[in-house]
Structure 1
Amino acid sequence: MSTAVRRMQDLTVTEHRLAVPLVWDDDADQRTIEVFAAVIAREGGEHLPYLVFLQGGPGFEAPRAFHSPSAPYWLDTALSEYRVVMLDQRGTGRSTPVGEDLLAGGSAAAAEYLTHLRADSIVRDAEALRASLDVPRWNLLGQSFGGFTTLAYLSRFADSLDRVYITGGLSPLDRHPDDVYALCYDKMRDASERYYRRFPEHRETMRRLTALAADGGLTLPDGEVVSVSRLRSIGSVLGTNDGWQTLWSLLELDPRSPAFRYDLAASLPFGGRNPLYFVFHESSYASGHATRWSAERTMPDDFVDDPTLFTGEHIRREWTDSVPAFRPWKDVALSLAEHEWPRVYDPAAVSASGARGAAAVYVNDVYVPLEFSLETAGLMPELKLWVTSEHEHNGLRSGPVLSHLFDLAHDRRVR
């Protein structure tokens, strides 16, 4: 493992690069990748316990440590009690990244490569880093997909963990992806109707926009001709605390204006910067299943009939043709949709883990449904729950969620 130390304002950032197998537990496969992690400590906090941040996604790197508007809101809270390990999950950031160069060897080889980037492999990378740092046990903070990865960690290496903190990431452990996406449509129906009750004039706006999209009349700055299904996916912003403001501001604009085109592009949930997020997304709910375009197959009749109903993280096969950034990945995405994914979670092991810590479960979460989160939480009676409607799925980034979880986990008076 190679190490470098930087000073940033009042922080010490120790950067680690670690070579790990691409395929764990296969000695015949000699391929390796690099994993990057930054250990952040505040001055005087160099001896605090470790807290590993597991980023949402899949397909996104960890945030950086700068004290600036782009720094994570929760970092100061975390650094008051921990050294924070920002792990760039395999395939992202400064770990060996996934880009279009992967396609040079053919779509079959690229698809096979991507099958080794899931939560079970991320957990093995984290364990390798823990061993390199000579840390007997550490703590996890899992946001969204990072919470899924935390559950994979508890399925395999619970003895390596002291406390876990999960925000919007209590995934179902033994459900088919169809169950998840069907319930997410129910959540998006509710979110759509709540929005239109506040701004009823925007329902007619969406009717006009979807008609314009159907005629090929909406184009993004990168040349994408926006399909109706792609336009409707702007509803994903309703999964964030201030997402209704983003949606309102967009729908107030003239669709002929450059402002609308650029703001629409910025509001869409899947883009070209992180191709894994699109290509790999449905696999995050597949534990022992093939996905076969689950979100597309489970769309309810009223969503088919009413184009003003917004969708969320519901990907569509047609985007592999209509979205320029996704076209190179079409054959890979088609292949992964048919892949029989191995199990990621072991419900019995999670139940036996004795997991301690705290989890925020968001009542109105349109990405990770409340009902399935409570089902998973029932396997971990020592994990303290905060079930709240004060925040949406991104509450960790926009509110004092982490301090509340710390207080719960340590039996302190809740602030």
Structure 2
Amino acid sequence: MTKTLGSLQLEEITLTLPLTEDVADERTIDVFARIATRVGGEDLPYLVFLQGGPGNEAPRPSLNPLNPNWLGVALEEYRVVMLDQRGTGRSTPVGNDILEKPTAEVVEYLSHLRADGIVRDAEALRKHLGVNQWNLLGQSFGGFTTLHYLSRHADSLDNVFITGGLSAIDRPAEDVYANCYNRMRRNSEEFYRRFPQLRETFRGLVNRARAGEIVLPTGEVVSETRLRSLGHLLGSNDGWFDLYNLLELDPTSNAFVHDLAGLLPFGNRNPIYYVLHESSYADGVVTNWAAERVLPEDFREDPTLLTGEHVFQEWTDTVPSLKPWKDVALALAQQEWPKLYDAKALENSQAKGAAAVYANDVFVPVDYSLETAQHLPGVQLFITSQHEHNGLRASSGAVLKHLFDLAHGREVR
């Protein structure tokens, strides 16, 4: 089906595809994609956008305002494929109705919603479109998915563009989360250096949380670990401003609890984001609540140190939207995940393109990203401290333009 949106042509495709690689498994899912093309761009190559997550559908294009705001830059050189990750959006979305099945069945089903499954879907779509090669743009978790794509089907790819998504390879999840705590410590201290009065404000909020005095409109009694997860805001260009504004409010007011509910991570998102989050870093390991287990001693002693995308087991008891998923989350934490990345295959992939590595990234550590980049010598690096993890969006396309120029050998300004 083809639609028009102002000057954009939007082609919608739904494919019915196998859930697993097992040819004897007859289960299928629907996979949805939307292809955006500008006027005169009908013969441009394809660029597949693999978004962050896990658990996020692709952005829905719009013009006023432009969404996503980097789309105009991308459409100058490509037709942009917006692929809903399996389990999200219009790709057989996972809902709470799946919990009517036995926990073991739910866990087995969800195990097929990782990067490896998404890559299989993308390959099926590429073949459906009849193209030998196409290009990828992977943001965050989408970059992790791109690395798996290169490990399995490098011949299907022309250029790859990665923003904040060069994942650690051959490292346990514990290493990644410990590194992220170190970066959250730095960002927490920087925030309090800028606004020293807010450290005691936050300490007071922790005391209120410990006393069960912060209750969201959803009925959630906010725990200390949930409150401290507000640190994820310090991983974006302007998130500190949202945190500052929240801490300026009267904690007993409706304004505070409503704003807090909107800023806390995980609870107001697709549950896949929570239950599969640690599996994103599971390169052939069991995660077993890795983020919680490696919480540093100073974080245990100082409740004003904020956490980022660190997930905690207790949220299955305190967050209303996650409570129904408790048994599934506990079982997934003990899942032995297959490897996603093959370092030797990456080195032999002859991959080309460009990757933005954010020097202060609190979610995808720069040192591990640089380790991974050594396996991709043909991918040009743009290392910058100008942006945080959301640089693709925060720069309104400037980061993407820079990557295009690097990959295509154009003068970079």
Smaller-chain TM-score bracket:
over 0.9
TM-score norm. by structure 1 comes to 0.98
TM-superposed deviation, 1:257? 1.1
Counterpart check, 1:209 vs 2:202: no
Contact preservation (8 Å) 2:262, 2:268: no
Rounded Cα–Cα distance in structure 2 between residues aligned with 1:236 and 1:284? 17
Rounded Cα–Cα distance in structure 1 between residues aligned with 2:63 and 2:86? 25
Rounded Cα–Cα distance in structure 1 between residues aligned with 2:165 and 2:265? 18
Which deviates the most, 119-128 or 63-72?
63-72
TM-superposed deviation, 1:413? 0.9
Residue 36 of structure 1 aligns to a residue whose secondary structure is strand
Aligned to 2:196: 200
Aligned to 1:62: 58
Question: CA distance change for structure 1 residues 52 and 354 in 2, over 3 Å: closer, same or farther?
Answer: same
Aligned to 2:231: 235
Counterpart check, 1:20 vs 2:17: yes
Residue 338 of structure 1 aligns to a residue whose secondary structure is coil
Q: Residues 70-89 of structure 1 correspond to what in structure 2 (within 5 A)?
A: 71-89=67-85
TM-score norm. by structure 2 comes to 0.99
TM-superposed deviation, 1:27? 1.6
TM-superposed deviation, 1:73? 1.2
Query: Any idea what the Cα deviations from partners look like across 1:155-180, whole Å, max 9, x if unmatched?
Result: 00000000000000000111100000
Rounded Cα–Cα distance in structure 2 between residues aligned with 1:104 and 1:30? 21
Query: Any idea what the Cα deviations from partners look like across 1:162-212, whole Å, max 9, x if unmatched?
Result: 000000000011110000000000000000000000000000001100000
Counterpart check, 1:275 vs 2:271: yes
Rounded Cα–Cα distance in structure 1 between residues aligned with 2:105 and 2:146? 28
Q: Residues 14-413 of structure 1 correspond to what in structure 2 (within 5 A)?
A: 14-24=11-21, 26-69=22-65, 71-399=67-395, 400-413=398-411
TM-superposed deviation, 1:106? 2.1
Residue 63 of structure 2 aligns to a residue whose secondary structure is coil
What letter matches 2:176 in structure 1? V
Question: CA distance change for structure 1 residues 246 and 13 in 2, over 3 Å: closer, same or farther?
Answer: same
Rounded Cα–Cα distance in structure 1 between residues aligned with 2:180 and 2:211? 28
Query: Any idea what the Cα deviations from partners look like across 1:18-59, whole Å, max 9, x if unmatched?
Result: 0111112x1221100000000100011011000000000010
TM-superposed deviation, 1:70? 6.7
Query: Any idea what the Cα deviations from partners look like across 1:362-405, whole Å, max 9, x if unmatched?
Result: 01000000000000001111110000000000000010110010
Rounded Cα–Cα distance in structure 2 between residues aligned with 1:60 and 1:101? 18
Aligned identity (percent) is 63
Residue 364 of structure 1 aligns to a residue whose secondary structure is coil
Contact preservation (8 Å) 1:272, 1:326: no
What 5-or-longer segments of structure 1 have no aligned partner? none
Contact preservation (8 Å) 1:237, 1:247: yes
Residue 44 of structure 2 aligns to a residue whose secondary structure is coil
Which deviates the most, 259-268 or 139-148?
259-268
Rounded Cα–Cα distance in structure 1 between residues aligned with 2:117 and 2:91? 13
Residue 151 of structure 1 aligns to a residue whose secondary structure is helix
What letter matches 1:144 in structure 2? S
Aligned to 1:6: 3
Rounded Cα–Cα distance in structure 1 between residues aligned with 2:68 and 2:224? 34
Query: Any idea what the Cα deviations from partners look like across 1:63-103, whole Å, max 9, x if unmatched?
Result: 01111347111100000000000000100111100110111
Residue 157 of structure 1 aligns to a residue whose secondary structure is helix
Question: CA distance change for structure 1 residues 70 and 93 in 2, over 3 Å: closer, same or farther?
Answer: farther
TM-superposed deviation, 1:273? 3.3
What letter matches 1:239 in structure 2? G
Query: Any idea what the Cα deviations from partners look like across 1:184-241, whole Å, max 9, x if unmatched?
Result: 0000000000000000000000110000000000011101000000000000011100
Rounded Cα–Cα distance in structure 1 between residues aligned with 2:102 and 2:19? 18
Rounded Cα–Cα distance in structure 2 between residues aligned with 1:265 and 1:223? 10
Query: Any idea what the Cα deviations from partners look like across 1:286-313, whole Å, max 9, x if unmatched?
Result: 0110000000000000000000000000
What letter matches 2:97 in structure 1? D
Rounded Cα–Cα distance in structure 1 between residues aligned with 2:213 and 2:267? 20
Rounded Cα–Cα distance in structure 1 between residues aligned with 2:130 and 2:30? 19
Rounded Cα–Cα distance in structure 1 between residues aligned with 2:357 and 2:186? 18
What 5-or-longer segments of structure 2 have no aligned partner? none
Contact preservation (8 Å) 2:183, 2:361: yes
Contact preservation (8 Å) 1:213, 1:227: yes
Rounded Cα–Cα distance in structure 2 between residues aligned with 1:412 and 1:161? 21
Rounded Cα–Cα distance in structure 1 between residues aligned with 2:346 and 2:148? 8
Rounded Cα–Cα distance in structure 2 between residues aligned with 1:52 and 1:105? 34
Query: Any idea what the Cα deviations from partners look like across 1:247-274, whole Å, max 9, x if unmatched?
Result: 1001001111111111111111112431
